[in-house]
Amino acid sequence: MPELQLLRPDHAPAVLAFERENRAYFAASISDRGDEYFARFAERHQALLDEQEAGICRFHVVVGASGEVLGRINLMDLADGGADLGYRVAQRAAGRGLATWAVREVCTLAAERYGLTFLRAAAALDNAASRAVLARTGFTVTGETHLSGRPALTYRRALGPPGAITPAGS
């Protein structure tokens, strides 16, 4: 069973391996991070940890049984009870419900541990898998936007108080 873990300094090698192994796969559906990301990975990883320490964001990794990173799921720009959700899953783990599980887990964390009351997300129109994950986890379409120049939909999900069951679509 995978585990959702808050990003730590010792995750850096596994996260870098995950990003390198899946670079082409991710670039097919979202904009590529670029060579600079990989060249300055250590600095970027530390910057994420600094943002997390400051309470601006919460970064998570989905860790498999062997300690490998199978996915990333992040809550960014925490403010006024809400945050922006972002996620990516390794190609070898795609299509098995991992993203849906991870989004559900982070929704629970967002409400119970981080005190958030809603999450926002966006997915490109041509990213059917990501749009399906958002629909399965209770997000509803709120509008249209562009992601890296591509047409996309915006989403929102209300989060209930700790212990409450939040109906799909709320």
DSSP secondary structure string for all residues of 43-60: HHHHHHHHHHHTTS-EEE
First to last CA, the chain: 28
Instruction: Tell me what pLDDT residue 29 has.
Output: 74
Residue 3: other Cβ atoms inside 10 A: 13
Instruction: Tell me what pLDDT residue 157 has.
Output: 98
Q: Which CATH architecture has domain 3-158?
A: 3-Layer(aba) Sandwich (3.40)
The better pLDDT of the pair 56, 148 is held by 56
pLDDT single digits (tens) 92-137: 998 899 999 999 999 999 999 999 999 999 999 988 999 999 999 9
Query: How far is CA 92 from each of CA 17, 62, 127, 144, rounded to the nearest angstrom?
Result: 13, 13, 17, 30
The better pLDDT of the pair 88, 36 is held by 88
- In contact, 148 and 161? CB cutoff 8 Å: no
* Two structure tokens written together for 103: 């989004």
d(CA 32, CA 161) in angstroms, rounded, equals: 37
Q: Is the predicted pLDDT of residue 63 greater than 90, yes or no?
A: yes
d(CA 156, CA 82) in angstroms, rounded, equals: 10
d(CA 112, CA 93) in angstroms, rounded, equals: 27
- Whole-prediction pTM value? 0.88
pLDDT single digits (tens) 5-49: 999 999 999 999 998 898 888 877 777 687 787 889 999 999 999
